[in-house]
Amino acid sequence: MKSLKLLFLTIFCFSLFSASENTIGKYKCMPCGLDCDKAVFDKAGKCSKCQMELVKSSSIIYKSIKPNSICSYIKSHPKTILLDVRTKEEFEGKADPDFGTLKNAINIPIQELENRIPEISRYKNQEIIVFCSHSHRSPQASYLLTQNGFKDIINMTGGMSTLTDKSCNK
């Protein structure tokens, strides 16, 4: 009987420890593209640097790709959807500086993305590469898409400003 009580007590204590361990240090800044995205926090709240909400680390589920491999990746994955979340002016090359855009990209500015998700909902199960100019807006967009049921999101780190291989530009 004592061994059964000891087993129960051990299991109970372990479950309490595991539950508390899973909540400590498991929050991150809602992706904003700044260095604070890498910081880990113990509880929910706001990021002291960018004032974005702190979200559970496990909710940030998009992948990343570096700009130096984007053109070869697109060539080998031709069905990938390309989503440019910059302003219309940036997308059309009317902003200074003009970083260009990727061929066949769809433009939905980050400011409009949440309201325009129904327009792209048919791509929920397709691979989508999200990009902007400096990778400040695209992490936010990538997070927003995954929170709205998009399954295969890839953020292009660095953005169009760091793209050296222009062979896949429009």
pLDDT (mean) for 14-36: 62
Residues 157 and 124 in one domain: yes
State which of 39, 59, 79 marks the end of a domain. 59
- Count how many residues are written for the chain: 170
The predicted model scores a pTM of 0.80
Q: How many domains does the chain have?
A: 2
Residues 33 and 103 in one domain: no
> Which is nearest to 70 in space by CA: 57, 84, 58?
84
pLDDT at residue 29 in the model: 83
Expressed as residue numbers, the domain containing 35 is: 1-59
Q: What is the DSSP string of the chain?
A: -HHHHHHHHHHHHHHHHHHHHHHTT-EEEPP-SSGGGG--BSSSSB-TTT-PBEEEGGG---EEE-GGGHHHHHHH-TT-EEEE-S-HHHHTT-SSS----BTT-EE--HHHHHHHHHHHGGGTTSEEEEE-SSSSSHHHHHHHHHHTT--EEEEETT-GGG----TTB-
More confident residue, 47 or 106: 106
Residues 144 and 86 in one domain: yes
Residues 16 and 74 in one domain: no
pLDDT at residue 1 in the model: 53
pLDDT (mean) for 147-164: 94
How many whole angstroms from its chain centre is CA 3?
49
Residues 44 and 98 in one domain: no
- Decide if 163 contacts 74 (C-beta within 8 A): no
pLDDT (mean) for 11-36: 60
Residues 99 and 122 in one domain: yes
Residues 79 and 135 in one domain: yes
CATH number at residue 145: 3.40.250.10
More confident residue, 68 or 11: 68
pLDDT at 9 over 60: no
The tokens of 123 are what? 């791509």
Residues 122 and 157 in one domain: yes
Which percentage of the chain shows pLDDT scores above 90?
61
| Residue 146 banded pLDDT, cuts 50, 70, 90 | very high
pLDDT at 20 over 90: no
pLDDT at residue 36 in the model: 81
Amino acid at the residue 161: S
CA-to-CA dists, residue 91 to 3, 14, 46, 145, angstroms: 69, 53, 31, 20
State which of 19, 42, 59 marks the end of a domain. 59
| pLDDT one-digit tens code per residue, 105-117 | 999 999 999 999 9
Residues 169 and 107 in one domain: yes
pLDDT at residue 24 in the model: 52
Residues 32 and 66 in one domain: no
Which percentage of the chain shows pLDDT scores above 70?
85
63-65 and 152-156 beta bridge pairing: parallel
Beta carbons within 10 angstroms of residue 163's beta carbon: 22
Residues 78 and 99 in one domain: yes
Residues 65 and 43 in one domain: no
